[in-house]
Chains A and B, each alone.
Chain A
Amino acid sequence: MIFFETYGDRLITAFQVHLFYVLTSVTIGFAIALVLGILLSRVPQYAKVIMPLLSVFQTIPGIVFIGILFLYLGMIPATVISALAVYAIFPILKNTYTGLLDIKKEYIEAAKGCGMSPFQTLLEVELPLASPSIIAGLRMSTIYTVSWAVLAAMIGLGGLGEFIYIGIASNNDQLILAGAIPSAIMAIGLSLLIDVLRRVVVPKGIRSVK
């Protein structure tokens, strides 16, 4: 285990930095996506135009976004975090929007009949019913973000990508694996955590339905 003696400390730091990028950008992305998704679901006629436009935007590779932001913002963590957050938005936004739109009108009518205000309906009826879809989006975003965060190393900002880039440049498979395995573990670990979250958030009545 000479490898760990040499790289152990750097690997732990890289893992922490990587995790930090992922958690902050997914949190920011999630907050923005949730609000936007709710707003868009109130105006489906506009959303029909906006959603396809956003999905075109999504085809821009992450590397371009980080590259361009790098030119304007420079070599700071905010560059990476804002680029990753933008990418985290789309799957969550899409799932929030479709999840809210798929809710049967009866439930909303029933809530209205119970005397709930639109805000109460959203909070107590619509969001809980859409939660399986929203969480599925969150899971997808998180897995992608772990993978995209590798690009931070491209502009010299650390994370597990450092090992991968150096490994590719020097043809060293040990270094590539040292970057790849922890990031795969991180993706799997976070997605398991989100599965736990789903169990807590999704209301009892619709838990059996996937």
Chain B
Amino acid sequence: MDASIILEHLYLVVMTVIFSVVVGLPIGVLAYLKPAGRKIVLWSVEILQTIPALALLGLIIIALGPGKMTVISGLVLYSLLPIVHNTCVGLENVDNGIKEAGKGMGLTQLDRLISVEIPLAFPMIFTGIRIATVTTVGVAVFATSVGGGGLGKIIYQGIRTQNINLIVSGTVSLMIMAVLFDVLMIWINRRLAKGAHNKAF
């Protein structure tokens, strides 16, 4: 096993997280702004989660053909749930008094959203992104069955050839990656929360 496979896996994870934030954040905000559609949105991202990862990738492969884009779009659909859910709930949980104060100062809805509500909800949103990232590291193993490479390749190869060393080396790299992402993002979140606190007081 060489470093390029780890980098390939890392690439899949990072691209997935970027795309799922780009897609998930606006959906979460919209779900928050339009309570009528909220239930439907949250319900549909939950339904997406119930489709087995392998089947989801298998269906996308038919539309997009094998390759990295297939894997990334499948993984994006899979990581929407924590991001959309946490964005919506985080915005909802912002103290009503603060929202009212923003209104009282004459801020428009967009202003309030950008300069008051999203910053206050950010720790919760970031937690959603963290959960999505760590889960993606694991689910990305399936990438190999649709031609996306990554650490799954090593693991599958190990299982097929009954080579325990190969399985273990693939798995350990995977675990290390997941834990590093987790620890790093918890640290970033704490730093951000601290920074916001200092600015406010």
Contacts and interface: CB of A to CB of B under 8 A. Distances in A.
A59 B138 contact: yes
Contacts of B155: 61, 63-64, 67
A67 B52 contact: no
Tell me whether chain B's interface is mostly helix, strand or loop, or mixed. helix
Contacts of B58: 164, 167-168, 173, 176, 180
Interface string A152-172: 001000001100110110010
A64 B175 CA distance: 12
B62 A61 contact: no
B141 interface: yes
B84 to A, nearest CB: 16
Interface residues of B, number: 36
Chain A's interface: helix, strand, loop or mixed, by majority? Answer: helix
A98 to B, nearest CB: 15
A147 to B, nearest CB: 4
Contacts of B62: 171, 173, 176
Contacts of A143: 49-50
Nearest to A178: B55
- Report, as a range, how many residues of chain A touch the other chain: 20 to 34
Given A61-B139, A164-B55, 17 more contacts: A56-B175, A59-B134, A60-B174, A64-B155, A68-B167, A71-B162, A148-B52, A150-B55, A168-B54, A168-B61, A173-B58, A176-B58, A179-B52, A180-B58, A180-B59, A188-B47, A191-B50
Interface of B: 47, 49-59, 61-62, 134, 137-139, 141-142, 145-146, 152, 155-156, 158-159, 162, 164, 167, 170-171, 174-175, 178-179
Interface of A: 56, 59-61, 63-64, 67-68, 70-71, 143, 146-148, 150-151, 154, 160-161, 164-165, 167-168, 171, 173, 176-177, 179-180, 183-184, 187-188, 191
